[in-house]
Amino acid sequence: KNNQLKYKRVLLKISGEALMGSRDFGLDPETVSRVAQEVASVREMGVEVCLVIGGGNIFRGVSGAAQGMERTTADYMGMLATIMNALAMQSALEDIGVYTRVLSAIPMQSVCEPYIRRRAVRHMEKGRVVIFAAGTGNPFFTTDTAAALRASEMDCDAMLKATKVDGVYDSDPVKNPDAKRFDQLTYKHVLTEDLRVMDASAITLSRENNIPILVFSIHEQGAFAQVMKGEGKFTIVT
Ligand code: UDP
């Protein structure tokens, strides 16, 4: 059945905020379960799935720095936040019978596995959902860049960016009712127009490694599976 798949191996980037639900901080267990269900249904299609989860729902380095904290220290706190989110997602996935492994860019031996590329590839070949935690392991980066990096390392056929809206717009569609939506974009257009897809380093890395970015709404039920079939609403950046 795998031969009919458009994308055999994908990376899904979920921001920390996407796991907040209607709260203004932390994790909403119902939302985490719902996203886990989305992942499970794509896994059931036979697609190999890995995840990068952000930490913005708990801590962001720039916010810490704005309050006077040393930037690199604040960034490490942000990376630790992504590990918490990864563990929550692992728990939600295991609850519904999906095999997972959390691999952290910052080794945390008694909590999860360290990130070792070959090991990650092996997990994916065995059908486990690999959750990449702690971003790139370096300060001054974001989990968007971590997503583009891991998607490149895992040789993913596509990177999916789960957002609150059904694609990329030329301005915030929540604030501007006349915002124009794109079905298709080039990396170059995204960079020159500074469109809000992912940060520039993530776009550049994806472009260099020819990884299409598919932006879709995680709030639509079944959207992840639909996008994998080339259906539903999404913006593709190539
Ligand atoms: N972070 C970092 N290096 C990385 C990834 C993340 O220093 O490679 C830190 C950074 O401080 C960031 C925080 O972790 O603000 C949370 O990640 P991000 O803001 O990307 O989360 P998201 O917006 O996706 O929820």
- Ligand 1 in reach of 163 Cβ (< 6 A): no
Helix, strand, coil proportions of the chain in percent (round to 5)?
40, 20, 40
From residue 40, alpha-carbon distances to 105, 116, 168 in Å are 24, 24, 25
**What distance in angstroms lies between residue 145's CA and the mean position of ligand 1's atoms?**
9
Task: Identify any residues that bridge with 220 across adjacent strands, giving them in sequence order.
Answer: none
- Ligand 1 in reach of 138 Cβ (< 6 A): yes
CA nearest to 224, candidates 44, 66, 42 = 42
Domains in the chain: boundaries = 2-237
Question: What is the C-alpha separation between 130 and 185, in angstroms, rounded?
Answer: 28
Going residue by residue through the chain (238 aa), what tens digit of pLDDT does each one get? 556 789 999 999 999 999 999 999 999 999 999 999 999 999 999 999 999 999 999 999 999 999 999 999 999 999 999 999 999 999 999 999 999 999 999 999 999 999 999 999 999 999 999 999 999 999 999 999 999 999 999 999 999 999 989 999 999 998 999 999 999 999 999 999 999 899 999 999 999 999 999 999 998 899 999 999 999 999 999 9
- Ligand 1 in reach of 60 Cβ (< 6 A): yes
Task: Identify any residues that bridge with 101 across adjacent strands, giving them in sequence order.
Answer: 130
Q: Does domain 2-237 fall into CATH 1.10.10.60?
A: no
Radius of gyration, CA atoms only, the chain = 17
Phi, psi of 68 (to 5 degrees): 100, 0
User: Can you tell me whether residue 39 is helix, strand or coil?
Assistant: helix
**What distance in angstroms lies between residue 141's CA and the mean position of ligand 1's atoms?**
7
- Ligand 1 in reach of 61 Cβ (< 6 A): yes
